[in-house]
Structure 1
Amino acid sequence: MRDSGILEKLEQRAFLFSLVAVSAVFALLIQPFFAPIFWACAISVIFYPLHKRLLARWPTRRNLVALFTLMLCVVLVVIPVLAVATSFVTEGVGLFQKVQSGEIDLASYVDKVKHAFPGVQSLAERFDVDLEKIKEQAVKAFTGAGQFLAKRALAVGQNTFQFFLNLGLMLYLAFFLIRDGDSMVAMLIRALPLGDEREELLFAKFAEVTRATIKGNLLVAITQGALGGLIFWWLGIPGALLWGVVMAVLSLIPAVGAGLIWFPVALYLYAVGDMKEATVLILFGVFVIGLVDNILRPILVGRDTKLPDYVVLFSTLGGLAMFGITGFAVGPLLAALFVAFWGIFIREFNEEDVPGLPVQSAQAESSSGSEQR
């Protein structure tokens, strides 16, 4: 009996080790497709409520309803994003070519700003700051960004098949996630050894944060980019569409975002004597574009994720640094799951809550004596 018990434990441990090893190898196998897999999951989470309402009306047309939901996603999200990205790359490459040909002299723009604000020169000399070196670095950074954009545009053109393959994989997987999302989640809840109650809480948190970060951040980005491009167009600033898209992308970074574009442009307008246009841009940037970030983002992102603004900021920056553009959604998601895990730990393994660490309201509603698997 003793030998059989030891053998059973050994077999169980060997199986668990093999399970972890196979899972790790499988994760490495699909790692190149992380972005399409993540966005397929995000699309299914965002559009699942719509799919559920449509399915309630046509319960026997499961495949057709899932396909219709996916087509709505393509029309409302995928096609507009591709159109804006194409316009952005086209205008960006055109601007870079003008800089390379000398039609646009970036150094002269920096010199105009420096001469218009002589106080900056004296202040820089007092603190041993070399403005000429800063000018060279700024020009070099812009040229490097233009070269990167041109290379990326060329790479996309050369790897068109890879791009559309990833897009097709994303839509293909999204169809099945939309159609079979409930059964897949139920299967994961049965498989994971965390306890059904905890797993349901974590999956609910994943869905909640994914919807909040993607819908909220994209809405803020689109609004700020549209407003920034509109004011640039109204003031007659060249490349309004390009700068609008750049502001939309940068607005994914909370707090600073679009200000990295419109504020330097306003300084340049002051430097060249366009006082009226510069004042209008400053006022519009602070009281219109800035308020969109200060009002909409906490409502759409911070409220639904139940994360403080500073956590959203740092997790977004960390996600962008680690995962690229996908990181604006992955970063806050990981932060929310981190808070959720620690909230569960505090609730179940401590007699009293630790002051200062937020505990999710959904966790407080669940009973503290949940049984583990």
Structure 2
Amino acid sequence: MNKQQGFLLLLLVGLSGLLGLYVVLPFLEYVLAAVLLAYVLHPFHARLAPRIGPRLSPIVLIAFAGATIVFPFVLVFAVLVRDVEAIAAGESGLEIAEIEGRIAAYTGRSVDLERWLRTGAETVFELSFDGITELFGAALKASFRLALVLFLLYYLLKDGACFVSWLKEATPLPPDVTDRLYCRIDTTTWAVIVGHVFVAFVQGMAGGIGLLIAGAPSPVFWTAVMILLALLPLIGAFLVWAPAGIYLVLVGQPYAGLFLLVYGVVVVSMIDNYVRPVVIDSRARLNPGVILIGVFGGIYSLGFVGLFVGPIALGVLGATLATLKNDYHRL
């Protein structure tokens, strides 16, 4: 490489790269979300496009994926609003008096949990209505960002295969090395995305079975909540089954509560230690500790989408280092 070529390369990587990052950075989370969704939906697009056309196929898939993803969140949110309204009206459906009696018997102090719950629920409603202007503005921003994700998703599904082919051709590596590198990246990405969702579903369903056996209230709803929370390794489903077990003990069902607590520790929590390594770690070739760091680091940096992007980024780094180690002598 001569000086002129080096200067052009430095200019391209430095100036163009920084300018591109500066433009994309405010919407980076949504761009990455569109890329991940396109990656997941591409196999379906490849099968559907020959039947209904490459332009209609992305629209159908986006509509189906939107309904599949949005419906659980809408359902959980609607139930939460209903429960908050019931608590504010003093109709929580929980055995508050029994819990207050147990706390008084154990600590010697009377606690008015009903008043605390009602005050908390009323505060939530007051804050919601007082900030209606901010909520409206946030809704407008969310609509704009959602439109951006859908727009990008459409073109990523439609032209994504061509872009990947161009990217492979532009990669300055021997063809067989490029193929191995992209194959490792593909395996890692698929294992992280599908593995996270699958493990969360299995963990949430296992926790739901425990709630059903123990006789906890609203087992179906809390199963849905556990499936969503279980996307967070180690602590997700614990936020549901542990309080549920304690609640059962406090309302005079010690055996059911202890069963749920033991079941949560032995069965639900162990899914992280056994199912997750089989589904994710073995295929992605990543240590569980690396995945955990990727998950929490990604969430801290990018929000919800970082849950997937964090481990994938570390997996891509690992695949690149493996390629450098195995094929350095050929470069």
Is the Cα contact below 8 Å between 2:245 and 2:260 reproduced in 1? yes
Is the Cα contact below 8 Å between 1:270 and 1:278 reproduced in 2? yes
In the superposition, the TM-score normalised over structure 2's length comes to: 0.76
Distance in structure 1 (CA, Å) of the matches to 2:188 and 2:147: 25
User: Match of 1:84?
Assistant: 72
Q: 1:347 to 1:300 in 2, by over 3 A?
A: same
Distance in structure 2 (CA, Å) of the matches to 1:11 and 1:331: 34
User: Match of 1:39?
Assistant: 33
Distance in structure 2 (CA, Å) of the matches to 1:116 and 1:265: 20
Identity %: 24
Q: 1:187 to 1:90 in 2, by over 3 A?
A: same
Q: Which residues in structure 2 correspond to 1:160-309 (within 5 Å)?
A: 160-193=139-172, 199-229=178-208, 231-232=210-211, 237-240=216-219, 242-286=221-265, 288-309=267-288
Which amino acid in the other structure matches residue 22 of structure 2?
L
Q: 1:107 to 1:15 in 2, by over 3 A?
A: farther
Q: 1:333 to 1:108 in 2, by over 3 A?
A: farther
> Aligned-pair distance for 1:243?
3.0
User: Match of 1:316?
Assistant: 295
Distance in structure 2 (CA, Å) of the matches to 1:204 and 1:181: 16
Which amino acid in the other structure matches residue 281 of structure 2?
G
Q: 1:289 to 1:12 in 2, by over 3 A?
A: closer
> Aligned-pair distance for 1:213?
1.7
Distance in structure 2 (CA, Å) of the matches to 1:187 and 1:67: 24
Give structure 2 stretches of 5+ with no counterpart. Answer: none
> Aligned-pair distance for 1:157?
5.6
> Aligned-pair distance for 1:146?
6.3
> Aligned-pair distance for 1:323?
1.6
Distance in structure 2 (CA, Å) of the matches to 1:276 and 1:317: 35
Give structure 1 stretches of 5+ with no counterpart. Answer: 122-134, 350-368
In the superposition, the TM-score normalised over structure 1's length comes to: 0.69
Distance in structure 2 (CA, Å) of the matches to 1:36 and 1:171: 10
Partner deviation per Cα, 1:115-153 (whole Å, 9 max, x = no partner): 6777xx9xxxxxxxxxxxxx9xxx9xx98x968x969x9
> Aligned-pair distance for 1:21?
1.8
Which amino acid in the other structure matches residue 74 of structure 1?
A
Superposed CA RMSD in Å reads 4.3
Is the Cα contact below 8 Å between 2:62 and 2:150 reproduced in 1? no
Query: Residue 330 of structure 1: which of 305, 309, 314 is its match?
Result: 309
Is the Cα contact below 8 Å between 1:112 and 1:268 reproduced in 2? no
Which amino acid in the other structure matches residue 339 of structure 1?
G
3-state SS of the aligned residue for 1:282?
Answer: helix
Which amino acid in the other structure matches residue 317 of structure 1?
F
Q: 1:92 to 1:230 in 2, by over 3 A?
A: farther
Deviates more, 1:249-258 or 1:102-111: 102-111
Which amino acid in the other structure matches residue 92 of structure 1?
L
User: Match of 1:13?
Assistant: 7
Partner deviation per Cα, 1:172-227 (whole Å, 9 max, x = no partner): 32232223223212322344556655554443333322222221211222333344
Is the Cα contact below 8 Å between 1:66 and 1:178 reproduced in 2? no
> Aligned-pair distance for 1:107?
9.9
